[in-house]
Structure 1
Amino acid sequence: MRERLFDLGLWLLLCVPVLLRSDPADGGSWTQVAVGVAVLGGCVAVSRRWPLLPLAVTVAVSLPATLELFTPSYSLALVAFGYLAGRRQEQSRGAWWLFGAVAAVGLVLTRFTGTSLGPWFTLLLAIALAVVAPWLIGRYVRQYDRLVRSGWELADRMEREQAAVADRERLRERSRIAGDMHDSLGHDLALIAVRAGALEVDPALGPDQQHAAGELRRAAADATERLRDVIGVLREDHTAPPTTPPAETLPALLARAHASGLPITLTGAPVPNLPGMPGRALHRVVQEALTNAAKHAPGAPITVTVEVEEPGDTVRVRVANGPAGDFSRGPAGGPGSDTDTPRGPAGGTGAPRGANPPGRSAGTSHATATGTGLVGLDERVRLAGGSLDHGASPDGGFVLTATVPRRAPVAAPAAAPTSARELDRARREVRRDLVRAIWIPIALLVALTALVGAVAVWTQSRSYLEPDNYARLLVGRPYADLSDDLPDHPLPTAPPGLPPEPSSADECRYYRSTVFAAVPVYRLCFTDGRLVSKDRLG
């Protein structure tokens, strides 16, 4: 409804000049009024679907009236349809083709009708001011509206993205908490199982106490499995690890594990205490390696080797455990009696061996039982700027090697979001259209002025009579003998303010005595084809 009211108002406004200039009382006719009103109505009706068609029709109606194009009846329509074409047309190539076609048709009509180039220059000026300039303004308004819409769409999209980011952050934080629970609680439960296993085979305890220790060990193992299942539900794939430093240092972690009964041997350089992401990654790698060794190869010796590469920017930690033992009963519930299970290798405090189910080696146990553990460790180490290697050792054990830098890598700057790039592109287009709306009309006016000046100089030079040639003209000679010394074209009319022509002359011709000045001029009068007088006037 709003668009229809706008089109109706535009049609009524454009009909006003037609009614005023085509009034029968003012020399017009009602036929002209009816045709003009009908043409403008049709142009307004199709202007939304075909924006260039009304402009072409208005030009076609104006050219028969005058080659200068600028008519009182349709000048307002030219400006209005030029603006609407720029405002509604998506592509600009068709408009430029139309402007060029109008200029070419005007030149052809000028030569066809035998008129001078003056009306064609006026036509070019009318196209530049009444059509091209409004069209460029319409293009600028279109791009500005697009920029405003892009801004509002960007704001709405940012609000939705912020809500989505908040939801993702909540889920990611839950996943991080789940990862920490798996790493820390799983490690602690594994150590509890190791201690309970040692108590289960301690001969100083009675059968009831050993049975209770076995129940405790099995409960800890079952809790570890249930924890892993629950964490697997909460965990999100490719979750970035927390960047806060661990609360427990790596030396404290090794000491606590050794005190729990794990047969750990530390070799190489002193254990470093790295800050930030490298320290967190190294702590988690060692913690996961000890947890898996205690769970899948209980009683197997564990060797932790620390290497600091020169010049001291990289730290490598290698955790290797031997294969699981073959005792008849282990803390994982293997077959055997409750009382005859021998003690582990840690001097009476280690966990009993034989935890691996029959037919599965310690090396494959790590790879299959950890699920996404190794994948998560690899991602954690990668984000810290290091690398992770793991695999079975030749003796049937398992080796986990982590290499991390002493300092966390500098994060690369985030790329600009797509919405920001779209908004920046829209702004550049608006600026370009604004510049075009300013400099293109100016450039057209400058070019048109230069063209008019060049044509004027060329035209005037064709009617310029040189003084030497004027001196050679003799009164009484026929025109045929004088034509070689005369220019190709005389002036079309006599300049104002000159004396009257001789009454006895049949014809007088005027030539410029200078190229640029209108006066003085040479006047040559002829009677019966002979020169009867020559004068320099003005």
Structure 2
Amino acid sequence: MRRERLRDLLLDLGLWGLLATPVLLRLDPNDGGSSGQVAVGIAVLGSGVACCRALPLVALALAVALSLATSPELFTPAYAPALVVFGYLAGRRQRHTRGALALFAAVAVLGFALVPLSDGNVSQGFTVVLVLALAIVAPWLTGRYVRQYARLVRAGWELAARMEHEQAAVADRERLRERSRIAGDMHDSLGHDLALIALRAAALEVDPGLGARQQEAAGELRVAAADATARLRDIIGVLRTDEGGDGEPGGAPTTPVGETVEEVVERARASGLRVELTRRGPDGATPPMVDRAVHRLVVESLTNAAKHAPGAPVRVALERTAGAEGTVTVAVSNGPADGERGEASGGTGLVGLDERVRLAGGRLTHGARADGGFVVRAVLPLEPGTPATAPVRPPAPTSVRERDRARREVRRGLAQAIWIPLALVAALGVVMLVFGLWTQSRSFLDRDDYVELRVGDPLSADAERLPPHPLDGPPADAPPEPPGMDRCLYYRAAMTASVPVYRLCLVDGRLADKAIVG
């Protein structure tokens, strides 16, 4: 443990130094920066690295705050590496996605909220969204993919370990079967022979043709044969000890005889399990086979809930219907685990439950719930009947289900890491195209209006005869402006072309020159 902490500390220090290097290079006091900016940036980055393992989204938010404080467009050479690294680590270490999505939305909204601070340049908001998609969201999705891939690998090793345990269990069961076969063979052969010896000794003991001494010896032989038979019975008992009833040596039950479901629930509550029991329907006698099946199902389900979903609430529901075809329905459900899931289960308990319910004439169903919990449900008849013998297709092994689920998550994570940034960039491109067309329409001057303008007319940039937004400047190949002009305004002559443009030059608020340039 101490070695792991030292390793994590060294890695964090190395990451801090790596992220602080571009800050030192780009914010040097001799290069237009200040020592205060350098100190604050390095300190905040250090805080982000310190909390990145426990609170990765906080570290990412700190990097975003530093970038926005340096440039309203979010992208800065000094803090771009921090955005990429913390975005990746947030995806790699954060279990849930809701907080990250909320942070991304807040950054996008904040990017457009800062537009008034940059003289109304709406393109700044689009730049923020573009940097968010490429420098934060894409690394975050990559981290999510790596996390899911690591989970798949870990699940593979867990399944391999489970297979080894299952192989060991199969070998143990085979040894027990062999013990039982040996015991049977000993009983059939040695027991039969000893019985014959005892029978012949008894005949010799009462034979009148033998003397008293020979009859006494025959009696001793009969007693020895009986003793040997008793010892053989003891040996057979030792060999069959592991074949006991409920898992205890000699078949001793693991639960109190006659224990009710209420007592099972109370015992589970006393152990710290959050259990709720509900009953519906009339009271009445229950056949012993059905009663023991209900008891076994509740015990096994509560044990599995405590083992594989620690901290989750459990609900036990019993429903009884009256009539000639009355039934008892028992359902045990638990929510998702509060923390990490417990160790993987081999599934043998559910197999045993299914067999016990089947022998009682009922049917068992079980499976995962939509919220991540698990439910086990059985319907058993109150009237004794024949066991359900209809062939039921066994569910896919737990290993196969978990492997397929992990593969689906990895494929989904890879697809998200590819198409979400592409979708964001495409959506941003469409928005920027629409915005560009709208801006062009606001700077388009109709030809008839241009012809009606006369040199000497009073004119200003906000005149009703002019579009509301002139261009930022002349086109690249425009001739120089006439000398002596106060200012020149440029407007589009065509909606879909950047050239030619109309140039209107003003002196003292009046039109002094107009021309078509470009």
**1:31 aligned to 36, 43, 65, which one?**
36
Deviation track 1:55-93 (CA, whole Å, cap 9, x = no partner) reads: 101111111211111112111111111111111111121
Deviation track 1:366-393 (CA, whole Å, cap 9, x = no partner) reads: xxxxxxxxxxxxx9xx99xxxxxxxxxx
Per the alignment, residue 97 of structure 2 pairs with 92
**2:49 aligned to 29, 44, 49, which one?**
44
Q: Which structure carries more relative contact order (alpha carbon 8 Å, separation 6+)? A: 1
* Deviation, structure 1 residue 415: 3.8
| Distance in 2, Cα, partners of 1:522 & 1:73 | 42
- Equivalent residue letter for 2:438: W
| Distance in 2, Cα, partners of 1:67 & 1:108 | 10
> In the alignment, does 2:27 pair up with 1:22?
yes
Equivalent pair of 1:473/1:482 in contact (CA under 8 Å): no
| Distance in 2, Cα, partners of 1:446 & 1:512 | 27
Equivalent pair of 2:461/2:489 in contact (CA under 8 Å): no
Deviation track 1:426-479 (CA, whole Å, cap 9, x = no partner) reads: 222222212211222222221222221111111111111222333344444444
TM-score by length of 2: 0.59
Cα distance change, pair 507–38 in 1 and its aligned pair in 2 (3 A): closer
| Distance in 1, Cα, partners of 2:186 & 2:427 | 78
Deviation track 1:169-225 (CA, whole Å, cap 9, x = no partner) reads: 21134335656887x789989x99xxx9xxx9xxxxx999xxxxxxxxx99999999
Greater radius of gyration (CA): 1
Equivalent pair of 1:18/1:33 in contact (CA under 8 Å): yes
* Deviation, structure 1 residue 160: 2.2
**2:86 aligned to 69, 81, 90, which one?**
81
TM-score by length of 1: 0.57
> In the alignment, does 2:404 pair up with 1:424?
yes
| Distance in 2, Cα, partners of 1:141 & 1:219 | 74
Aligned pairs, how many? 363
Cα distance change, pair 97–529 in 1 and its aligned pair in 2 (3 A): same
Cα distance change, pair 224–26 in 1 and its aligned pair in 2 (3 A): same
Alignment partner of 2:114: what SS? Answer: helix
Alignment partner of 1:446: what SS? Answer: helix
Per the alignment, residue 67 of structure 1 pairs with 72
- Equivalent residue letter for 2:490: Y
> In the alignment, does 2:444 pair up with 1:464?
yes
> In the alignment, does 2:98 pair up with 1:118?
no
Alignment partner of 1:90: what SS? Answer: coil
Equivalent pair of 2:108/2:129 in contact (CA under 8 Å): yes
Equivalent pair of 1:174/1:234 in contact (CA under 8 Å): yes
| Distance in 1, Cα, partners of 2:226 & 2:446 | 119
Q: What percentage of residue pairs aligned between the two structures are identical? A: 59
Alignment partner of 1:99: what SS? Answer: helix
Deviation track 1:216-236 (CA, whole Å, cap 9, x = no partner) reads: xx9999999998887677553
**2:427 aligned to 439, 444, 447, which one?**
447
* Deviation, structure 1 residue 40: 1.5
Equivalent pair of 2:443/2:492 in contact (CA under 8 Å): yes
Equivalent pair of 1:62/1:69 in contact (CA under 8 Å): yes
| Distance in 2, Cα, partners of 1:473 & 1:463 | 17
Equivalent pair of 1:14/1:40 in contact (CA under 8 Å): yes
Cα distance change, pair 30–528 in 1 and its aligned pair in 2 (3 A): closer
* Deviation, structure 1 residue 9: 0.8
Q: Give runs of aligned pairs for residues 219-234 of structure 1, distance below 5 A.
A: none
Alignment partner of 2:69: what SS? Answer: coil
Structure 2 spans left out of the alignment, 5+ residues:
1-5, 210-222, 247-354, 360-385
* Deviation, structure 1 residue 485: 4.4
Per the alignment, residue 298 of structure 1 pairs with none
Alignment partner of 1:509: what SS? Answer: strand
Deviation track 1:485-520 (CA, whole Å, cap 9, x = no partner) reads: 432222122223323334465443211011232210
Cα distance change, pair 414–177 in 1 and its aligned pair in 2 (3 A): farther
